[in-house]
Every structure is written in C-alpha cells, then in structure tokens.
Structure 1
Amino acid sequence: MAGNIPPNLIEPVATAQHFVPPSSRELRAQAVHRLQVGLFGLCAMLLIVGLANIIMDRARLVDAEDPIRDVVAVDAKPKRPVADPLADIGVIPSPEASPTPNATDGSLDSAGPAPLATQ
C-alpha cells in the first residue's frame, strides 16, 4: 500500500516559499482578539478579588465579639494547659521551671557541694 502512492499527491518544493505578510484585516482581527482576552482576564481578576473581599468581610463578622460567647466562656470549665508529649514521656526536659534549692538551707555552701562521707 505504501508503495502505491500516486505521484501527483506529493509534489516536491521546487522554489523557495516567501513569507506573506498578514493583511490589514488579519492584523485587526488579531488586535481585537488580544483586546478581548485582556478584558476578560481583567474582569475575572476583579471578580475574584471582589469574592475574596466578601468572604473576608463575612469571616470578620463571625469573629466579632459576641455577648453570648462571653457568657458561655464564664460557665465553661477551664481547659487543661497543652502539655508537651515528649516532656511527658521524659525524652526532653519539661518546659516548666524546676524547683531550685534555696541558698539558705545550707546544703550548698560557697565552696560548692558538701563532700560525701566515707567510712
């Protein structure tokens, strides 16, 4: 089948083909198309920004102080402070300050810790 291609369908290019500049009608059509795409993009951006503004305004209204929320907060049980799970199992030190010995109990003197008693 591939060997039976008629010779008149495939014609070799004998001369150089020159660039044909677009006509004024084609240039005008391209300009109008670019203008349409640009205006559509601008309108889409304005629509998206407006929608985002509406969403943010609604979120701000929801987050506004509500007197009922204050009453519920007074009656609510106090929440347990967030604990560090690694400190709970002893992997890292606790973020809470550990009690330090008082300097007045005499366990530490100015020379350092008391020597161990040997027998």
Structure 2
Amino acid sequence: MRWSELIEAVRESGQYATAAEAERVTRTVLSALGGHVVGDERVDLAAQLPVEAARVIADQVPVTRRLTAPEFVESVALRLEGATPATARWDVSSVLTALAQAVDGELVDRLLDLLPPGYALLFGRAELAQAA
C-alpha cells in the first residue's frame, strides 16, 4: 500500500472533504499510536505500512503508561485543533479502521493484545468480553 492509498482509505472511512484533512488526522493519530506500540509489533507494523506512516510511528518515544481507549481518544482530541472527544473518536476510528485493513489480521490481533481493553472498536472490530 502506498501513502496516498492509506490517506484515501482514511478520507473515505472518515468522509473527510479533502485528502489534506485526512492526512492531518492520519499523522496525528499515528503519532499518538506510535508511543503505544513497541517491540516486535512496532517493527512488524512499520514493515506493513507505507514508509511515511512507518516513520510517524517509529519516531515516537514509547510511553511509560499505555492509555486506556478513552484516554487515547482524549489525547488525540488535544492534538487536533478544534476537536472534541466525539470528533476525535471519529478521527481515531477512521484512521485505525483503515490501518487495520492495510495490515494483516494477525498483526491487528497482536496490537489489540498489546493495548489495554477497549481499543478493538477503534480498530473497527467487535470487542468480546471475557467470561468471569
């Protein structure tokens, strides 16, 4: 997949008016995600994404505490000018759903195992609750 194809997938998923808007949102979400993805998952994700996306992810310093899904969305809202938690959730879901379609499903499973509970819906997947 080329960078332009990823941006177009995000533009369509999020119904953004322009590719520039989709690119701005994509870069912001990927930079927020980059600190949460470490180790082999980071390497494998970078290998399956366009070079531009891989750089955005790889350039991030790993976080000391992984954010819950709501905290992650809030962190993205703070990075996007004029965003609210609701619009940021839309933005995050648009990017992460496109990302999940761009990489293999096994890698998405590994990413979801790495992240705290609650991220599956952001990646466009149902999240099953474990039986007690």
Scaled to the shorter chain, the TM-score interval is under 0.3
**Larger Rg computed on CA atoms:** 1
Q: Structure 1-normalised TM-score? A: 0.19
Q: Which has the higher helix share?
A: 2
